[in-house]
Amino acid sequence: MAKATSLLKAYQSESIPTHGGFIISSNFDADTVYSIYEITAFSSLKDIYLTGDAFNFKTDGDRTHILVEPPIYTGKSVEPTYREDGKSIPYRFYEMTIITGKKQEKIMIPKKPVTLHSYFTVQNAKGNNFAFLFYPTEDVYVAIKKFIADSLYNDANVEKTDAVEASKVALETIKQFTIWNS
Number of domains making up the chain? 1
* pLDDT (0 to 100) of residue 180: 65
Q: Read off the pTM.
A: 0.95
181 inside domain: no
124 inside domain: yes
182 inside domain: no
* pLDDT (0 to 100) of residue 179: 80
What is the DSSP annotation of the chain? ---EEEHHHHHHTT---TT-EEEEEEEE-SSSS-EEEEEEEEEEEEEEEEETTEEEEEEEEEEEEEEEE-TT-TTTTS-GGGSPTTS--S--GGGEEEEE-TTS-EEEEESSPEEE-SEEEEEPP-TT--EEEE---TTHHHHHHHHHHHHHHHTS---HHHHHHHHHHHHHHHTT--TTT-
Residues of the chain with pLDDT under 50: none
Domain that holds residue 62: 4-174
